[in-house]
Amino acid sequence: MPTKIYETEYVYTADGREIEVSPLKIKYLKQFMDTFNTIKFVSNQDDALKIFIKCATIAMKQFSPDIKTVEDFENNFDIQTMHKILKNAGGIDLENSEENKPQINAAEQEKSSWDTLDLVKLESEAFLLGIWKNFDELESCLSIPELMTILEQKRETDYQDKRFSAGIAGVDLEENKTQEVDPWEAMKARVAAKESGIGNGDPNDITALQGVKAQQMGFGIGMGLEYENLT
């Protein structure tokens, strides 16, 4: 089973100091993405590069607060290291994008884009746990992967609590869930029914359940359907 909520990456400064890079806490990610979204207003690679460096410098607020300015960042890291920081801190994968156009990596795209993420709603749901004194503290403590993992577990716990309470009251919350049918078994049942000339090929048609087939299934016409005359 998975033992990690997210992956981390280690990068090194010009003087060999090791820095661990992981998904940004929400507090810094908001600043990171606000800066990154200005990429839509630039028309050349030089201006785009300046935005990438600004984003990476913002990430250093979390990973290495002593690197405070763009100049500090440029003195400590090369372009390839900047790519690693952007990818691991904010999900911006420049190395795999076409013609160096920035894009969010595929895993992040499948979850949600930053523009469509209802962060206020998600934070409000997590805040009900009563762990943080205010939203600023929550955003300083959690990254998006951490927030989503907490909410997933909270929802599962809430559902199990409701299911338990409903069970005490004699209500089965699972009752209305559609039972999955194996497509292969359903197809075999339809073929068998058609070949026998009995029924309409519907695996749920009991007229197709005769003889040994009926006995195997536990009921049917001619065999397997037992009853007791109570009159």
Give the model's pLDDT for residue 228: 44
Q: What percent of the chain has pLDDT over 70?
A: 66
Q: Which amino acid is residue 180, in one-letter code? A: E
Helix, strand, coil shares, percent, the chain, to 5:
55, 5, 40
Rounded alpha-carbon distances, angstroms, from residue 202 to 181, 185, 194: 13, 12, 9
Give the model's pLDDT for residue 140: 96
> Which of 134-143, 171-180, 214-223 is least confident?
214-223
Q: What is the pLDDT of residues 86-124, one digit of tens each?
A: 999 999 998 775 444 544 444 444 344 677 889 999 999
Average pLDDT over residues 220-225: 44
Give the model's pLDDT for residue 220: 46
Burial (Cβ within 10 Å: 0-12, 13-18, ≥19) of residue 4? exposed
> Is pLDDT at 4 greater than 90 in this prediction?
no
- Measured between alpha carbons, how far apart are the two ends of the chain, in Å? 58
Rounded alpha-carbon distances, angstroms, from residue 150 to 126, 129, 144, 209: 7, 10, 10, 49
3-state secondary structure of 27: helix
> Is pLDDT at 227 greater than 50 in this prediction?
no
Q: What percent of the chain has pLDDT over 90?
A: 52
> Which of 65-69, 168-172, 180-184, 186-190 is least confident?
180-184
**145: number of Cβ within 10 Å:** 17
The encoded tokens of residue 130 equal 């009563």
> Is pLDDT at 194 greater than 70 in this prediction?
no
Q: What is the pLDDT of residues 40-98, one digit of tens each?
A: 899 899 999 999 999 999 999 999 999 999 999 999 999 999 999 999 999 999 877 54
Give the model's pLDDT for residue 222: 45
Q: What is the mean pLDDT of the chain?
A: 79
